[in-house]
Amino acid sequence: MKFRNRARLDTGQVQDRRGGGGLGGGMGLPGLGGRGIAVGGGGLVGLAVVIVIVVLQLGGGSSPLGIGGGQSDEELSASCQTGADANQAEDCRLVAVVNSVQDYWDDQVEGYQPADTVLFDGQVSTACGQASSAVGPFYCPADQQAYIDLSFYDDLERRFGARGGPFAEAYVIAHEYGHHVQHLLETDQQVGNDREGPTSAAVRLELQADCFAGVWAAHAVDTALIEQLTSDDIAAGLDAAAVIGDDRIQSQTQGQVNPEQWTHGSSEQRQRWFKSGYRTGDPRRCDTFAADEL
C-alpha cells in the first residue's frame, strides 16, 4: 500500500490517548446504561452487539508498528503532514488510512458525519463505558468514535498467526468505519436482541462491515490519498479476515466450534463478504440483512 507523496493528511481525525489516559481498575466494557452498545470490529475479541463481552485475555504488549506511546496530538500533527510521511512512518500511515476511508464515505453517504479514531493503550473511557485493550478494536455509537489499541495487531500476528502488514491493519480500520456508516444509516438498529448464532442479526451486521471495508478498498485509489494497492495487499486483508473468524477463534481458544455462539461470522464468510465488496465496489451489494445465505 503506497500513499501519494503530496497528499495532505488530516490528523484532526485521530486522537492519541496513549501513555497517560489510563483508568483505574480493569472493568472491561460494562452494560449499556442507555448509552449505546459498542460494536466489535476485528472480531478477535470484538464487542459484537452484546451487553456481556467475551474477553480473551490477550495481554498488552508493545505495538509492532513502532508507534511511540504517548505521542501528543500536537506531535502527531507536526510529524504527519503528507502522504510521504505516511510512506515512512506507521502512525502517519494510520492517519492516512482513516482519512482515505472517510473521504470515500463522505462522497457516498448524504450528510456523512466524520468520526474520530482514538488510539489508546491499556484502558480507555468511552461514552459506551470503560474498555480495556483486551476487547480489541471497537466502535462506540454513543460518541461515534472508533477505538483501537495498536497492540491488537501484534496479537493478530503473534498469537493467531496472521501475516499482518499495512493493509491488514487498514482492513481493521475500514471495518470499524463500516460500523460508523451503519450507525449513520441506522442499520445497527436492526440487531435488537438477535445477538448470537450463525444467521443472527449481529453476524449480519459484522459481515456487512466487512463488505463495506472491501468496497472502500475497491475505491481507495480514487480518494487521492492512496496511490497503489497490490494483490498482495488484498491478500493480507483477506488473511486478517480469516484469522478473526468466529470458527477459527473458537477452535484455537476452546478446541471446538459452536456456531450458535457466533457473533461475527466464520472465516469463510468474512473473507467472502470482503471480497464481494471489493469485487463489486458497490455498497448496495452489501445488504447482508436481505441475504438468504451468508
Q: What is the pLDDT at residue 52?
A: 26
What is the rounded CA–CA span in Å between residue 215 and residue 276?
8
Residue 25 pLDDT exceeds 70: no
Question: What is the tens place of the pLDDT at every residue in 178-191?
Answer: 999 999 999 999 99
Query: What value, to the nearest 5°, has the Cα angle with vertex 276 and ends 272 and 278?
Result: 115
Dihedral sign, Cα of residue 213, residue 218, residue 224, residue 228: positive
Share of the chain above pLDDT 70, in %: 83
Q: Which amino acid is at 150?
A: L
β-pair partners for 82: 8
Neighbours of 240 (CB within 10 A): 31
Partners of 216 in beta bridges: none
Q: How far apart are CA 144 and CA 132, in angstroms?
A: 18
**pLDDT given at position 39:** 79
Q: State phi, psi for 136 to the nearest 5 degrees.
A: 80, 180
Task: Count other Cβ atoms within 10 Å, centred on residue 255.
Answer: 7
What is the structure's pLDDT at 159? 86
Q: How confident is the model at residue 36 (pLDDT cuts 50, 70, 90)?
A: low
Do residues 116 and 15 make contact, with C-beta atoms less than 8 angstroms apart?
A: yes
Mean pLDDT for 110-122 is: 96
Which residues 6+ apart lie within 8 Å of 195 measured at CB?
Answer: 48, 49, 50, 201, 202, 263
Burial readout 13-39 (b: 16 or more C-beta within 10 A, e: otherwise): bbbbbbeebeeeeeebbeeeeebbbbb
Burial class (CB in 10 A: 0-12, 13-18, 19+), 209: buried
Cα–Cα dist 187/244, whole Å: 23
111's grid cell: 450528510
The secondary structure of 53-64 as a DSSP string is -----------T
Structure confidence at residue 23 (pLDDT): 35
Q: What is the mean pLDDT of residues 164-173?
A: 96
Beta bridge partners of 117: 14, 146
Q: Is the pLDDT of residue 42 over 90?
A: no
Looking at residue 126, its pLDDT comes to: 96
**What pLDDT score does 20 carry?**
56
CA distance 204 to 64: 31
What count of Cα atoms within 13 Å lies in the side-chain half-sphere of residue 187?
Answer: 26
pTM equals: 0.86
Find cell 496479537 and name the residue. 155
53, pLDDT greater than 60: no
Residue with cell 482513516: 98
End-to-end CA distance of the chain: 29
Reported as a single tens digit per residue, the pLDDT across 242-293 is: 999 999 999 999 999 999 999 999 999 999 999 999 999 999 999 999 999 9
